[in-house]
Amino acid sequence: MATPSSPFAFLEEFAARIGERLQPPAWAIHEVQHRAVLFINHVLQQEPEAQDRLARQQGRVVLVQWRKIQVRVVATPAGLLDLAPETAVPDLTLTVTEASPLALAGATLRGDKPAVQIEGDVQLAAEINWLVDHVRWDVEDDLARLIGDAPAHAIGTAARRVTGALREFIDKAAKPRTDRPASSPE
């Protein structure tokens, strides 16, 4: 009997089946996209260089795709992002090629960029790549505004420890087990 390549193969298959059958309503998808853009803009506002780079790309549309999920964003004159109309022709299309949500989460926790197929404007792709490489959310800074520096630092330290433990768990789960004796056919 063959063993699955991942201990999470059952969960991945289950999530894929559920995802095919259950589709959220269009308004819910739009609302999630809108909130994601608001969050990205919050992070961009903390990086003036990022805003300057995006402002130079104003009016340019980027289509980001993963599985059946698509979002179109447009660079604004303020150097932020806004949702683009669904009919907008993209200047750049970024397609995340990793189909497994667990593998994608694992790569993200390791700090790896997911594999992406890129089609379209090279200069815009270079700017997006710069943003991905250089813009980070300072969670502790945002928490400090709400609860103070010391508690925010303590929460940040705890979160880094949890992330490290998750990273180790995913790395161990992703590696093939070599400590099991090989079974021989009977």
- C-alpha dist (Å) from residue 21 to 2, 10, 17, 105, 149: 28, 17, 6, 22, 45
Write out the two tokens for 36. 């994601």
pLDDT band at 121 (very low <50, low <70, confident <90, very high): very high
Stretch among 10-14, 30-34, 115-119 having the lowest mean pLDDT: 10-14
- Under DSSP, the state recorded for 91 is S
User: Across the chain, what does the average pLDDT equal?
Assistant: 82
All structural domains of the chain with their residue ranges: 9-137, 138-175
CA–CA distance, 55 with 77 (Å, rounded to integer): 5
Q: ∠ CA(13), CA(94), CA(11), 5° rounding?
A: 10
Beta strands in the chain (DSSP E): 61-66, 69-75, 81-83, 92-96, 116-120
The model carries a pTM of: 0.69
Q: Which amino acid is located at 110 in the chain?
A: R
Q: Which residues is 64 bridged to in the sheet?
A: 71, 94
pLDDT of residue 176: 60
Other C-beta atoms closer than 10 Å to the C-beta of 4 total 10
CATH number of 9-137: 3.30.1050
Other C-beta atoms closer than 10 Å to the C-beta of 170 total 19
Q: Is the pLDDT of residue 163 over 50?
A: yes
Q: Is the pLDDT of residue 82 over 70?
A: yes
